[in-house]
Structure 1
Amino acid sequence: MSANTAGIGTAGFSVGPEEDADEFEQELWATVDEVPDPHIPVSLVDMAMIYDIEVDAGEVTVTMTYPCMGCPAYDMIQDDVRAVLRTVRGVTDVTIEVTWDPVWSKDMLTDRAREELRDAGIGL
């Protein structure tokens, strides 16, 4: 499943489940959308850090990135993603794959993320 319906950043990068995602895939995306970035009040999905969520017989693989390579919350974020997905009925294992392609940029933020950041007094 590729990301493309939860929102689109100004760079045209899409986030969220594909339009034809089944109910289980949509539930996984919605569940990950509950995980906030630990530094700012925006979900990882709206931050466009979650690139893809794939499911194979209960085994979930999350492809994600970070705004910077030296992110001090790297392990904590991955632990949060694993923990929240393991609460979903039918999930037997969660693997995190980190990618740097495409390289994350603030242009990938969803409109909702931009609004939440503005409301929190964070300029872009």
Structure 2
Amino acid sequence: MIFSLILRLTIWFLLTSDLSILNIIIGIAIAVLLPRSQVEKESIKEWIKVLGKLLIAIPQAYYEAIEIMIFPHPYEGLTLERVKPKRSRNLIFLDIFLITFTPKTIVLKYYKQGLFQIHRILRKKNS
């Protein structure tokens, strides 16, 4: 439950970009009031890995944005990536959020068979 609240607050703060007292109170209220899904047991180890990836994704997003402005990215491609096995819905959502957070990639579709369809912009054409 605590990880669910942390996830909701993190997404709230990333969306609003506002750490004022009023926004923190609103974020906590929304995180507590949103309905909960069925409880899925997730290991703390997996959550720590994902939160570590989130901390890496923020500077990576800035780097990619600058790279796109400096170097043209005229090509694009679609790839399918497999979801890690035995992933909970919360962690799958966070994986999709992290992929889409960076400017060069976006998840177009999640297949229930355990695949993400990802659109990428590329500097060079893949052969």
TM-score interval, smaller chain: under 0.3
Point out the structure with the larger helix share.
Answer: 2
Q: State which structure, 1 or 2, has the greater radius of gyration over its C-alpha atoms.
A: 2
Q: Which has the higher contact order (CA 8 A, sep 6+)?
A: 1
